[in-house]
Every structure is written in C-alpha cells, then in structure tokens.
Copies of this chain bind each other. A is one copy, B any other.
Amino acid sequence: PDIRCAQDYERLAQQFMVLPHYEYVAGGCGRDITVAANLNAFALWAIYPRLLRDVTAGHTRLTLGQQTFHHPVFMAPVAFQQLAHPAGEIDTARAAQAMQSCMVSSTLSSVRMEDVATVANNGGSPRWFQLYFQPQQNDTLDLINRAANTGYSAIVVTLDASIQAASLRAQRAGFRMPPGCVAANLRDHSAPASITLSPGESRVFQGIMRDAPTWKDLEWLMTQTSLPVWVKGVLHPDDARALQNMGVAGIIVSNHGGRSLDGAPASLDALPAIRAAVGSSFPLLLDSGIRSGSDIFKALALGADAVLIGRLQMYALSVAGALGVAHMIKLLCEELEICMSLAGCATLKEINRGALVRCGA
C-alpha cells in the first residue's frame, strides 16, 4: 500500500521479519562502519539533468560477454532466504524470471539449486551460481558441476569472505539460525574435518584461514569448468588487474554489503580506480549500498556495467514473496529509467562520468 520507491521495502520489512532476522539481514559486521560508508558514498555524488534530448528509443539492455540482459539490475547472491519468507529462493527466482533479472544463486541457498532451476527454467535472463570454495575440492567440484548441469550459465566465486564475523547487531538481537534453515546445496557433503591447533598457533591464521582459497585454487577452478568465472568481492585495483590477467570473465566490485571486513572502503569509492585498472571494456559489476535507481545510475556513471541488489531483495521477499521482489525490481528499473531520461541518457552506454558532479564542488 505505502510503497512508492524500492527503498520503502527496507522500512516495511521491519514489520514482516522478527527483529533478530531483520537485524541479521540489515547488519554488516563489526561496528557497521562499512555499511554506513556504502550508503554515504552515493550521497556524495550529484547527477546533472540534461535538457531536450530525445530518449524515446531508450532502453536499458546490456551485453556481458556472450550474454544479454534486459536491464542492469541483478539479484545478488543472498544466503538463507527462508529467513525472510517460507518459499525462500524459489520466490526470488520466480520474481527474477518474471522481471528478466539475472539471479545469482548462493552456495548457501536454503533451497537446492536444482529446485531453483525448475522454477526459472526458460526465458527470462541468465541464472548464475555463486560459489564458496569448500574445504574439500570434491565438494567444490560437485557444486560447479551441478550448477552447469542445471542451467546456471556462469560461476561467481566470492572471495572476500574467508572470515566473516557475525554481525554484532544480529548477535545483540539474539539471532540464531532457525533449525529448518540450512545450506541445502551442501546437505550431502561430509562435515569438514575439525581443526586442531598446536600450542602457539593462531585460531585465525592456522585455524579458520587454513581452508581459505589462494591463487592456486582459483587457477584450479578455472580449469574445471567451461562456464565463465566471475570473481566477487574485489576492492583493490591490483587484485582486479591480476584477476583480469588470469582470464576471469568479469569482476564484481563489492565489500559484501559491509559484511566481511568492517572498515573496508565503500564499493562505490573503490570503483573508479578499478575501472581505470581494467580498461573500459572489461565486464565490471558493483554491489553494496544500492537502494534506488539513482544509486544505480551513479554506479554505472562511475564505471559499472550493472549492479547487484542484496538486502532490498530480502526485504521485498519478506513483505510479499515473489510479488514483492518482482515489484521491487520493477521500481528500481523505473527509477533508473526516470533518472536516465532526466539525465538525457537513452542507453546505458551514454551514462558516463560526465553525468555526475561531486556534491558541493
């Protein structure tokens, strides 16, 4: 009823999720410094309106590698969507298919990727699979093979979350994963070997980080699949260049919505240097902090080809299931189109740095 813009789902979700779940989704990690930075970063840019340009042939289509998309509003990989709605990822997939949005399915989906695939099996936009490296190589292989077999057309390896401190906000609200909500894709994997530390060893360096992927693992992965491999979680231009040289299909500039390293720079702030590092035609997505169509416009103007939506997805899902997510995508697309129209841009290609000006400068 009272939903006028995509961000309204953020407000409304607080009435549709129990507090601990809401806090789990909304919070970042640590003291939420990066969560705040993500939002502030967008506020520091203004968009130039341009006059009298004909945009009646306008559209928002784009091509990334071999794939084309109706619009640049992708669904970020978001784990455990049954926290927001009993139908979980099934409903998100339905919405993505209906709205022709590229959905990136999480390794930690609360619904098996095979089930997601059945509801989003024809038409719409491509579906991608987000991979977390598993402690056992076999399990990693199992995931990417199943993804390839069920129609996921790209692998997105998330590399910024080797350690993920639980959100302080979630912990304070008493968040616990509800019993039914599990990582369905991993159900048949054997439990990881428990880690024993020698005296003097660090629970972090010699413990948690023991299974963290390194450059070798990524190289290995790229030999194991014929799907395009994207990397998610890049903020430093040197990492971007190295990944480009390795031959990844594209990069997602992201700080995991402020959920990985508290104190990491805002994704948007990191974007221009990365675009400069990889050149103008290398595929680059961005997420973290997108709440409106004008945020999307700004990300595109600063170098992204498309964006991924994280939290808004969960908020809309909690409010109205598939319908909510579809509506949220529609609102974002229209907000973007209005922004483009007023900025005189008929296509995404016309959105460039010259469309923005630093606030107060």
Contacts and interface: CB of A to CB of B under 8 A. Distances in A.
A297 B239 CA distance: 20
Contacts of A265: 46-48, 357, 359
A90 interface: no
A160 interface: yes
A260 interface: yes
Contacts of A217: 52
A188 interface: no
B338 A263 contact: no
A37 B2 CA distance: 26
A286 to B, nearest CB: 15
Contacts of A40: 360
Interface in A225-252: 231, 233-236, 239, 243
Interface residues of A, number: 87
Contacts of A213: 52
A360 B53 CA distance: 32
14 contacts: A7-B31, A30-B294, A46-B264, A51-B234, A52-B159, A52-B239, A163-B338, A203-B334, A205-B346, A212-B341, A261-B294, A263-B339, A264-B342, A265-B359
A87 interface: no
Contact of A205 (B159, B205, B337, B360): B337
Top 4 A-B pairs ranked by shortest CB distance?
A58-B205, A204-B337, A46-B265, A261-B342
A122 to B, nearest CB: 17
Contacts of A37: 46, 359-360
Interface stretch (A101-109, A164-172, A305-313, A317-325): A164-172
A81 interface: no
Contact of A58 (B7, B47, B202, B231): B202
Contact of A165 (B57, B210, B239, B338): B338
A2 B297 CA distance: 41
A135 to B, nearest CB: 13
B209 A58 contact: yes
A110 interface: no
Nearest to A361: B269
A218 interface: yes
Copies in the complex: 4
A205 B51 contact: no
Interface of A: 2, 4-5, 7, 30-31, 33-34, 37, 40-41, 43-60, 159-160, 162-163, 165-166, 168, 171-172, 202-206, 208-210, 212-215, 217-218, 231, 233-236, 239, 243, 255, 260-266, 269-270, 292, 294, 297-298, 334-335, 337-343, 346, 357, 359-361
Contacts of A214: 52-54
B160 A342 contact: yes
Contacts of A44: 360
Given A53-B215, A56-B210, A204-B337, 20 more contacts: A4-B172, A34-B46, A41-B360, A46-B265, A47-B263, A47-B265, A48-B235, A48-B236, A49-B260, A51-B159, A51-B239, A54-B214, A56-B205, A58-B204, A58-B206, A162-B341, A209-B341, A261-B294, A263-B297, A269-B360
B59 A202 contact: yes
A219 B234 CA distance: 49
A338 B160 contact: no
Nearest to A295: B263
